[in-house]
Structure 1
Amino acid sequence: MLQHTAEAKRFYKSKAWRKCRDAYFMSRYGLCERCQQPGLIVHHKVYIDAQNINDATVTLNHDNLELVCQPCHNREHFGGVEAVRDDVMFDSNGDLIKR
């Protein structure tokens, strides 16, 4: 399962990320860029890691973002394996929460 580091969790809760994420979401009219269903997650094409977490050209660059729905996000990160539980989901910070 996808786990964020403490540093990544701080980034995803930052004002800079929330502002960037919200602006990108609006620029895509709230639709998943892969399947045109309602989007949920602003996904980084180049994954965030310890080496680039402080590089705004990676983390806050609209060219590195993609709005995706939960199923498309799951396919990206979990190799096409769909969720087997329907009582949990990922929130906009990437944390697992109860539905």
Structure 2
Amino acid sequence: MAKDYAKAFYKSKAWEKCRNGYMQSRHYVCERCGGVATICHHKVYITPENINDPSVTLNWSLCEALCQTCHNMEHHKSSITRAGLAFDNNGNLIQK
């Protein structure tokens, strides 16, 4: 979930265009595990100090296409599911 200072950015047309273009360019393949990517992750975390800097927020070289599991690993440093399980795009627990 986006932090309060970032909510408007993540709903912006600029981010939508950047995210959609980047994800399409990566064919929605997770750049870490090869699964189905559903999240365009910022390699440089968005902060109140850089939220208005398009060289950070809209820069494809700082983006990464990730599946939900890899994104969770990035932010939580551990999987929220047991090995071999994942959540699909609808939030259902499935076997990988």
Taking structure 1 as the reference length, the TM-score comes to 0.79
Counterpart for residue 7 of structure 1: 5
Q: Which has the higher contact order (CA 8 A, sep 6+)?
A: 1
Counterpart for residue 58 of structure 1: 56
Gapped regions of structure 1 (runs ≥ 5): 92-97
The one of 66, 73, 76 aligned to 1:75:
73
Cα shift at 1:82: 1.4
Cα shift at 1:26: 0.5
1:53–1:83 CA distance, 2 compared to 1 (3 A)? farther
**Structure 1 residue ranges (4+ consecutive) displaced by more than 2 angstroms after TM superposition:** 3-7
How do residues 19-98 of structure 1 correspond to structure 2 at under 5 angstroms?
19-83=17-81
C-alpha RMSD of matched pairs (Å): 2.1
SS of equivalent residue, structure 1 residue 8 = helix
Cα shift at 1:5: 2.6
What percent of counterpart residues are identical?
Answer: 49
Taking structure 2 as the reference length, the TM-score comes to 0.81
Gapped regions of structure 2 (runs ≥ 5): none
Whose Rg is larger? Answer: 2
